[in-house]
Amino acid sequence: MATNTWTDGGNDGNWTNTANWSLGAAPVNTNDIVINVGDRDITTNISATGITPNSLTVTPGFKYSIGTAGASLGFTGTVPSISISGTGPLYAINGGTDITAAVIDTPDNTKVRLTGGTWALVNAARGDCVCEAAAVVTALQNMKAKWYIYDNATAITTLTLEDDGFVNSYRAITTANVGALARLTVWEDEAVATANVRGILDHRSSGTITTATVFPRGQLWARNSPFSFTISTLNRWAGAVVDEAGPGGVTVTISSTVLVGPKR
Read off the pLDDT of residues 4-49 as tens digits, 9 standing for 90 and up: 999 999 999 999 999 999 999 999 999 999 999 999 999 999 986 7
Residues 173, 139: Cα–Cα separation, whole Å? 10
Kindly report, residue by residue over 237-262, the tens digit of the pLDDT: 999 999 999 999 999 999 999 999 76
Q: Is residue 115 part of a domain?
A: yes
Alpha helices in the chain, H assignment, sequence order = none
Residue pair 251/228 in contact by the 8 Å Cβ criterion = yes
Coil vs helix vs strand at 244 = coil
Kindly report, residue by residue over 77-135, the tens digit of the pLDDT: 999 999 999 999 999 998 777 899 999 999 988 999 998 888 888 999 988 998 876 68
Asked whether residue 76 falls in the same domain as residue 161, the answer is no
Kindly report, residue by residue over 86-101, the tens digit of the pLDDT: 999 999 998 777 899 9
- Return mean pLDDT, the chain: 92
Entry field: residues in the chain: 264
Q: Is residue 137 part of a domain?
A: no
- Total domains in the chain come to 2
- Rounded average pLDDT over 191-198: 97
Q: Is residue 215 part of a domain?
A: yes
Residue 45 is classified by DSSP as S
Domain region containing 50: 1-121
Flag whether pLDDT at 154 surpasses 80: no
Asked whether residue 259 falls in the same domain as residue 216, the answer is yes
Q: Is residue 23 part of a domain?
A: yes
